[in-house]
């Protein structure tokens, strides 16, 4: 299975331990790109095979595959 980009969030009781959770996520195989402590979110990528290990980390409440957003071209009448 390929590598997927993802975001994950931690519950409020672990919000102050985001660095610890990022460490655990790395040990589970995640490449952590951003630790967004203000909103309790990590972003990065991982092999799809390791997703369950990520979900098993204490304090991780949700793991989601990253979405893309796209605007219409500048000349479009509806933006």
Partner 1 sequence: MARKSRKRPAKKQAALETLSVSPPEQPQAGGSAPATAPGTTGRFLVLFDRSAAPQAPNTLRRVANLSLASAADFEDGIVEPEGLGGADAVMLPDLAIAIASAPPEQTHALGVASDTGILAIEPERVVYTSGQGWPLNTGPAASADDMAPLDYLRGYRDAVNEVYDRLTGQHDAEAELGAEAVTAFDEADATWGLQATRVVSSQHSGRGIRVAVLDTGVDSGHPDFAGRAVTGASFVQGESVQDGHGHGTHCIGTACGPERPGILPRYGVAHEADIFAGKVLSNRGSGTDGGILAGIQWGVSNKCAIISMSLGAPVQVGQSFSQVYEHAARRALMQGSLIIAAAGNDSRRPARVAPVSHPANCPSVMAVAAIDERFAVARFSNGGLNPQGGQVDIAGPGVDVRSSWPRPTLYNTISGTSMATPHVAGIAALYAQADSTFRGRVLMSMLTQYARRLRAPARDVGAGLVQAL
Binding site for partner 1 (CB under 8 A): 5, 7-9, 12, 15, 33-34, 36-41, 43-44, 61-62, 64, 66-74, 76-79
CB nearer to partner 1: give 1 or 76.
76
d(CA 6, CA 17): 19
CB nearer to partner 1: give 5 or 26.
5
Beta carbons of 28 and 58 less than 8 angstroms apart: no
CB nearer to partner 1: give 1 or 75.
75
d(CA 48, CA 15): 25
């Amino acid at each position: 299975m390929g590598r997927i980009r993802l975001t994950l969030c931690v519950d409020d009781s672990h919000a102050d331990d985001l660095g610890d959770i990022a460490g655990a996520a790395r040990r589970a195989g995640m490449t952590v790109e951003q630790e967004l402590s203000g909103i309790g979110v990590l972003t990065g990528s991982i092999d799809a095979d390791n997703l369950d290990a990520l979900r098993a980390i204490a304090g991780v409440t949700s793991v989601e595959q990253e979405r893309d957003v796209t605007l219409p071209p500048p000349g479009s009448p509806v933006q």
